Structure 1
C-alpha cells in the first residue's frame, strides 16, 4: 500500500509548479513581440499647445505612406508631420507626430549619418537622441527631442533643421536607428 502524502506537501508542490509555470510564461513573453502604442499623443508641455492638432484623435494610427520604400527604415512625412518606424517585414512598428523646424528635406532616400547622445540645439534648447540624416542649404537636418520634453517655440526667422518629438518617441527612435539606418522622406 502506498503512503499518503500530507496536504502541506501537495500545496507546496502545486505552488512551486504554478510559480515555475508563471516564470516560464513571463520569460517567454519577454522574448516575444511587444505591442507598441502608435496613437498620436498630446504635446508634452504647455508650450506644445501652439503645435497641437485641433482634430480629434482616431483610434487607428495613420497608415504608412505608400511608396516609402521597403525593409527596415525610418519614414518621415513632411506634410503629415509624422514619423513611422518600419521593421524588416515592412510593418510600421510605431508612429508618432513631430514638430519640424523651418528647413525641410526634399522627398527621397537618406540614411542616418551621425548620432549624438545630447547637445545644445541651434535654437539654444538642450536636446538628446540627435540623429542627422541630411543637410539643406547648409543647415543640418536631424531628429531629436528636447531634454525637458517641450516642443520647440516659433523660430523667429531662423533656419532650423531639427525635427523634434516627444521624449518617449525620441528614446524609441534612438533605440531603433543606428548610423546607416535608412530614412525615407515623403511629401
Structure 2
C-alpha cells in the first residue's frame, strides 16, 4: 500500500498548480487584442465576449515649477490641488481640494499647529486640521469633513480659510504634515 500524502501537501500542490494556470492565462491575455479609444465606447448588447477593457494609465499632474525642493506640501491655488512631496522630491500623493473663500498669498509657510477635530466655520464637523497660514485675519488650514462630505457653498460674504480635502486625503496629509513641515503655496 503506497504512503498517504498529508492534506497540507495536497493543498500546496493544488495551490501551486492554480498559480501556474493563472500566470499562464495572464500571459495569454496580455498578448490578446486591446481596444482603441474609439472601441472603448459604452458597451452594447452586441459587444463581443472577448473584448477586454484597457487599463487607464493616467499620469498625475507634476509638482509645479518653483515650489521648492525637499520634503514639503505644495498647494496650487489655480489647480486647486495639493502634492505631498518627500525628501527626494518624489510625489507621494496628489489630490484636488475645495479651497475656502480666503487664500494665502503664494509663498513658503510652515505648519504651526494641528487640531484633531473641531467644528468648521461652515458648521461642519471637521478633523485633521493642519494650520499653516494667516490671510486677511483668517487662519488657513487643511481639513476634511468627519462624514467625508464636500463643503457646502459658503454664505455670501463669509470668510473661510479651510481648504477641505476628501477624507482619505485628509488622513494622508495629517500623517505627512507634522508641525514644522513646509507648505509651499503657488499660483
Same fold, TM-score > 0.5, yes or no: yes
Question: 2:138 matched to which residue of 1?
Answer: 139
Query: How far apart, in 1, do the equivalents of 2:159 and 2:105 lie?
Result: 15
Query: How far apart, in 2, do the equivalents of 1:68 and 1:107 lie?
Result: 10
Question: 1:101 matched to which residue of 2?
Answer: 100
Highest Rg: 1 or 2? Answer: 2
Decide whether aligned partners of structure 1 residues 72 and 7 sit closer, same or farther in structure 2, where only a CA change above 3 A counts: farther
1:150 aligns with 2:149: yes
Query: How far apart, in 1, do the equivalents of 2:57 and 2:137 lie?
Result: 38
Question: 1:121 matched to which residue of 2?
Answer: 120
> Displaced runs of 4+ in structure 1, greater than 3 A?
none
Query: How far apart, in 2, do the equivalents of 1:120 and 1:178 lie?
Result: 21
Deviations 1:82-105 (CA, angstroms, capped at 9, x unpaired): 000001110111100000000000
1:184 aligns with 2:184: yes
Consecutive unaligned residues in structure 2, runs of 5 or more: 17-55
Aligned length: 145
Q: Which has the higher contact order (CA 8 A, sep 6+)?
A: 1
Query: How far apart, in 1, do the equivalents of 2:64 and 2:150 lie?
Result: 24
Question: 2:5 matched to which residue of 1?
Answer: 8
Local SS of the residue matching 2:5 = helix
Deviations 1:50-102 (CA, angstroms, capped at 9, x unpaired): xxxxxxx9822111101100101000001110000001110111100000000
Decide whether aligned partners of structure 1 residues 81 and 58 sit closer, same or farther in structure 2, where only a CA change above 3 A counts: farther
Deviation at 1:151, TM superposition (A): 1.3
Local SS of the residue matching 1:109 = strand
Q: TM-score, normalised by structure 2?
A: 0.71
Query: How far apart, in 2, do the equivalents of 1:143 and 1:114 lie?
Result: 11
Deviation at 1:122, TM superposition (A): 1.1
Question: 2:78 matched to which residue of 1?
Answer: 79
Question: 1:88 matched to which residue of 2?
Answer: 87
Consecutive unaligned residues in structure 1, runs of 5 or more: 1-5, 20-56
Query: How far apart, in 2, do the equivalents of 1:147 and 1:129 lie?
Result: 9
Local SS of the residue matching 1:8 = coil
Question: 1:54 matched to which residue of 2?
Answer: none
Q: TM-score, normalised by structure 1?
A: 0.71
Deviations 1:114-156 (CA, angstroms, capped at 9, x unpaired): 1111000111110000000011121000000011111111112
